[in-house]
Structure 1
Amino acid sequence: MSHRQIMEALSGLLLGLFVAILSSTIVSNALPRILADIGGGQSAYTWVVTASLLAVTATTPIWGKLSDLFSKKLLIQLALVIYVVGSIVAGFSTSPGLLIVCRLVQGVGAGGLSALTQVIMAAMISPRQRGRYSGYLGATFAIATVGGPLIGGVIVDSALGWRWCFYVGVPFAIVALVVLQKTLHLPVVKRQVKIDWTGAFFITAAVSLLMIWVSLGGQSYAWMSWQTFVMVPAALVLGAIFLFTESRAAEPIVPLRLFRNPTITLTSLASLFVGIAMFAGTVFLSQYFQLARGKTPTMSGLMTIPLIGGLFVSSMVSGRIITRTGRWKGFLVAGGLLVTAGTGTLGMIRAGTPYTEVAVYMALLGLGIGMMMQNLVLAVQNQVSAADLGAASSLVTFFRSLGGAVGVTALGAVLGNRVTHFVTQGLTALHVSGAAGTGGGIPDVATLPAPVRGVVENAYGHGVGDVFLYAAPFALISFLLVLFVKEVALNNRSGLQQVSSGTGRTSGDVAGAAARER
């Protein structure tokens, strides 16, 4: 494919990815206002975010495997349709429960968009050239990440109301559908397939149970309680059953043989831990600026620009340098170091920390995420045949989403506990009862009396800082893991070129006939 053909096809893919990321970032910034309207506390806040991440995590391997078996174009269009349906219904939510269900549906669509974008890019573009185009992917991520809070803030602060935060992505999704129909034409191998629905069920059940335990632990029940002793072993058993079914399945959701490759194992684990830091930055900073510093949703979005600017610059620059030189490991190592530095320094922030300091810390985190996010996928895609591109690409995305989902859930529980502790401590010093403070929900800081407002702002400032301190060790682990990744020269052939030459096919693929998608 020529550069022009690639860019035409990429335009629809990036627009779809923009929609998926926008759905997450636009809501995270508007959530304090949404939950103040429909009710719900820190647990509801966490689960509105986590529900989408859970669906993304559970479905990413499924979408990736389906892309190895069916039409990639049809699948990504289906993902867009699912996203649109979830978004429209979410706009009519009247309770946290309904909103969480709609976010699950949105997450199923977003999981397909995230996984399939990586898979289709790998099919069209060789690893050596992919760094250049991965920069566009990182730039899209950055624009959607900074644009989401800004758009969400403007909508929430305007007469439109927060419900339009869910409707605004629908036109973009429809345009993406039309563009993909006109520009994306990939060959698809037709063969008899068998979907591993058993594996899909057990991986979803294991991840869901684990996150329910993490989310409610320390709040609805003590960490050392009978609920823990039931749910944790049950999640481990479900995970073991999943591994057993995958070892026996004809078409496993996650081919376990991929983990024989040290690069895939190390990068998958690194993605798991970097996902914790990445989603902590995009989710909890909005609470910091709105609840600890009393900013509007619009200003909250503007104040996260250093984080997104760092991500934008590093993803674009690193992608182009990798394409020119073919060297990529240095960016993974530097990215891991910067993510660790960013989360560690953000752990020191408080409500009164000067914004310039917070901006520098956010920029460090953004630079590190931009260097690691796409290059971890690139390292894996460079190691597998075309027949396994879908499963391998989605594997890294799966672990990143899993880290984000478990991380947001666990860190959300930490934040809730720390805020409760600091609010109780502060109100006790003021001789004010807890009920006169936040009322157990996400507070509207502007309506609180001055002394109580100061207590709540300090509690959220200190609590969010503690969240990043908890995230820093995981970022350090991701840095240590990428140190051991062996750098392999980037392949100069795309997935389609491997298939056409026969080197990218499995024995079952050779008998399949390629048919053009129309």
Structure 2
Amino acid sequence: MFAIFLGMLDAQIVATALPRIVGDLGGLDVFAWVTTAYIIASSVTTPLYGKLSDIFGVKNVFLAAVAIFIAGSAACGLAQSIGQLIAFRTLQGIGAGGLFVSVLAIIGSLFTPREGARYYGLFGIVFAASALIGPAAGGVLTDVISWHWVFFINLPVGLVVLFLISRFLRLPSRPGRAKIDYAGFVTLAGAVVIATLLTSWGGVSYSWLSPQILGLGAGFVVLTAAFVAIERKAAEPVIPLHIFRDRTFTLCCLLSIVAGMVFLGAVNFLALYVQVVTGASPSMSGLVLLPMMLGLVVSSVGSSKLIARTGRYKLYPVLSMSLGIVAAVLLSTMDTGTPRWLAIVYMVIFGLAAGLNMQVLTMASQNTAPRADLGAVSASVTFARQLGSSVGISLFAAVFYGRLTDELAERVPPGALDATDPDSLSSQQVLDRLAAPVRHAVEQSYADSLTAVFHTAIPVLAVALVCALMLKNIPLRSQDHDTSDTRGQTSEPSGTH
């Protein structure tokens, strides 16, 4: 639970501090890579951590992941340029890739799916603490000290995690001979990076029919095909392909991709809206985002408790995607004239939608998996969510920045920003120095760019709603996992539950 707190706290704090970081270091056109690099690194290493856990034991891999995360956090806090920060966020992401998958594997191995639902409730409470503390803490640290401390704060928390895990966590050790699928790992990493570049550059840096984009598309197809061919023959595949025979698992992966794209990929842009369009300071921005995170926590913890009580889960991803469509439509209407209280209401709806799928998809996929595949299944669902986040942030950044460039050129009088670095427009100090008409034009440009982001999210959520409706409502098992279980079949809960 402390490890989950560590990872989630970092995500919430950094999102609030990003506008100030961009204002200090520049790089508005690449600011999304501060998050994207982190997510790519955590995405491509997540399935590897799952396999390493199956071979060397969850505890050993868990400790290594926490140590790497702490080292990356310290390096990020010392960064002096946007390039350095992106590089160090990559290192931090490598460690983060093992945090969540290890916790999910531990819960899956210690408890039956029905019992695990109760512990996911505790998971939700810890997430609540980080979600509620994070935005406000990020704003206060940025305003009072500097944004560097949003990374340094991870060090004491991480050291506590290392001590507690090494001293108190007791798990059965299952060491085995290491058979790492290096070829599969390299081709998977290459495919993820290319997919991220494709969505980031397409239509912005290069036209969709340019040789660069067509080349990336061809490279993605080749690497994906190579990955599938390698996994079919690998003795210890990074992602065992046989787990995709389970329809529930496959649908959960698809839903996780969309959840990562929309519900995680859009948060950075909401922080930009709050600070640039509404004029909030980083501290106030954290408070404005707080109700959204509270909505996420309430729906996450509440849905986990109801699932533990009933053993049924299908309703929640359906509600998540349906409510997400409503929230995206509402958020797309926000502009400079939208009252802050109304923007908060829209964000709360968005948070409620996000929380309804937080633990559900992992529980559903673990429910149909035999014990031998728990590590791979947990890692794959987590990987799918992080892959969606990586692609989503890049896609939304491309949409946002492409639209912002056009809006600024159309709305701002010629020469009005000649003395202003465009990368610094997210800084309130810079905006305060602009003439009122110019500042209003900049704020409206940011608002219209955010509208384009949520217009893009609506059809993605609609596809996910169809996938959610296709889920089978298989009751969570009350019995322990057994390697003899038939994949995709589960025992009905006994009457005593």
2:174 aligned counterpart, secondary structure? strand
1:304 aligned counterpart, secondary structure? helix
Alignment of 1:418-497 (within 5 A): 418-427=403-412, 430-436=413-419, 439-444=422-427, 445-495=431-481
Q: Is 1:82–1:108's contact at 8 Å kept on the other side of the alignment?
A: yes
Structure 1 residue identity aligned to 2:475:
A
Q: Which of 60, 84, 88 lines up with 2:46 in the alignment?
A: 60
Aligned residue number for residue 89 of structure 1: 75
Q: Which of 72, 80, 99 lines up with 2:58 in the alignment?
A: 72
Q: Deviations over 1:223-268 (max 9, x none)?
A: 3211012111012111111111011101111111111111111111
- Give the Cα–Cα distance (whole angstroms) in 2 for the partners of residues 286 and 101 of structure 1: 23
Aligned residue number for residue 284 of structure 2: 299
Alignment of 1:362-381 (within 5 A): 362-381=347-366
Aligned residue number for residue 493 of structure 2: none
Aligned residue number for residue 230 of structure 1: 215
Deviation at 1:220, TM superposition (A): 2.9
- Give the Cα–Cα distance (whole angstroms) in 1 for the partners of residues 124 and 274 of structure 2: 24
- Give the Cα–Cα distance (whole angstroms) in 1 for the partners of residues 26 and 317 of structure 2: 42
Deviation at 1:98, TM superposition (A): 0.8
Structure 1 residue identity aligned to 2:21:
I
Match status 1:385 vs 2:357: no
Aligned residue number for residue 495 of structure 2: none
Unaligned runs of 5+ in 1: 1-13, 507-518
Aligned residue number for residue 299 of structure 2: 314
Aligned residue number for residue 6 of structure 2: 19
Q: Deviations over 1:149-172 (max 9, x none)?
A: 2111101111x2111111011100
- Which sits farther off after the overlay, 457-466 or 442-451? 442-451
Deviation at 1:434, TM superposition (A): 5.0
Aligned residue number for residue 343 of structure 1: 328
Q: Deviations over 1:19-77 (max 9, x none)?
A: 11222221221122112222212x32111110001111111111112122221111111
- Give the Cα–Cα distance (whole angstroms) in 2 for the partners of residues 146 and 404 of structure 1: 21
- Give the Cα–Cα distance (whole angstroms) in 2 for the partners of residues 461 and 446 of structure 1: 18
2:308 aligned counterpart, secondary structure? helix
Aligned residue number for residue 99 of structure 2: 113
- Give the Cα–Cα distance (whole angstroms) in 1 for the partners of residues 409 and 473 of structure 2: 52
Structure 2 residue identity aligned to 1:123:
S
- Give the Cα–Cα distance (whole angstroms) in 1 for the partners of residues 461 and 203 of structure 2: 24
Aligned residue number for residue 168 of structure 2: 183
Q: Deviations over 1:120-161 (max 9, x none)?
A: 111112111222211222232333233222111101111x21
- Which sits farther off after the overlay, 116-125 or 374-383? 116-125
1:253 aligned counterpart, secondary structure? coil
- Give the Cα–Cα distance (whole angstroms) in 2 for the partners of residues 298 and 491 of structure 1: 45
Aligned residue number for residue 329 of structure 1: 314
Deviation at 1:435, TM superposition (A): 2.7
When normalised by structure 1's length, the TM-score is 0.90
Unaligned runs of 5+ in 2: 488-497
The change in CA–CA distance for 1:61 and 1:373 in structure 2 (over 3 A counts) is same
The change in CA–CA distance for 1:400 and 1:72 in structure 2 (over 3 A counts) is same
Identity %: 36
Q: Is 2:69–2:92's contact at 8 Å kept on the other side of the alignment?
A: yes
Q: Is 2:201–2:213's contact at 8 Å kept on the other side of the alignment?
A: no
- Give the Cα–Cα distance (whole angstroms) in 2 for the partners of residues 446 and 59 of structure 1: 43
Structure 1 residue identity aligned to 2:15:
S
1:18 aligned counterpart, secondary structure? helix
Q: Is 2:3–2:161's contact at 8 Å kept on the other side of the alignment?
A: yes
Alignment of 1:104-143 (within 5 A): 104-143=90-129
The change in CA–CA distance for 1:281 and 1:212 in structure 2 (over 3 A counts) is closer
Deviation at 1:299, TM superposition (A): 0.8
1:24 aligned counterpart, secondary structure? helix
Match status 1:272 vs 2:261: no
Structure 2 residue identity aligned to 1:142:
A
Alignment of 1:42-57 (within 5 A): 43-57=29-43
Q: Is 2:278–2:340's contact at 8 Å kept on the other side of the alignment?
A: no
- Which sits farther off after the overlay, 76-85 or 357-366? 357-366
The change in CA–CA distance for 1:264 and 1:373 in structure 2 (over 3 A counts) is same
1:207 aligned counterpart, secondary structure? helix
Aligned residue number for residue 17 of structure 2: 30
- Give the Cα–Cα distance (whole angstroms) in 1 for the partners of residues 425 and 209 of structure 2: 27
- Give the Cα–Cα distance (whole angstroms) in 1 for the partners of residues 5 and 37 of structure 2: 19
- Give the Cα–Cα distance (whole angstroms) in 1 for the partners of residues 467 and 204 of structure 2: 33
User: What is the alpha-carbon root mean square deviation over aligned residues?
Assistant: 1.8
Q: Is 2:135–2:285's contact at 8 Å kept on the other side of the alignment?
A: yes
Q: Which of 40, 50, 54 lines up with 2:27 in the alignment?
A: 40
Structure 2 residue identity aligned to 1:92:
L
- Give the Cα–Cα distance (whole angstroms) in 1 for the partners of residues 359 and 279 of structure 2: 34
Aligned residue number for residue 150 of structure 2: 165
Deviation at 1:504, TM superposition (A): 7.3
Aligned residue number for residue 270 of structure 2: 285
Structure 2 residue identity aligned to 1:149:
P
Aligned residue number for residue 9 of structure 1: none
- Which sits farther off after the overlay, 403-412 or 224-233? 224-233
Aligned residue number for residue 354 of structure 1: 339
2:165 aligned counterpart, secondary structure? helix
When normalised by structure 2's length, the TM-score is 0.94
Match status 1:153 vs 2:139: yes
Q: Is 1:292–1:458's contact at 8 Å kept on the other side of the alignment?
A: yes
- Give the Cα–Cα distance (whole angstroms) in 2 for the partners of residues 473 and 360 of structure 1: 22
Q: Is 2:272–2:426's contact at 8 Å kept on the other side of the alignment?
A: no
Structure 2 residue identity aligned to 1:487:
N
The change in CA–CA distance for 1:441 and 1:213 in structure 2 (over 3 A counts) is farther
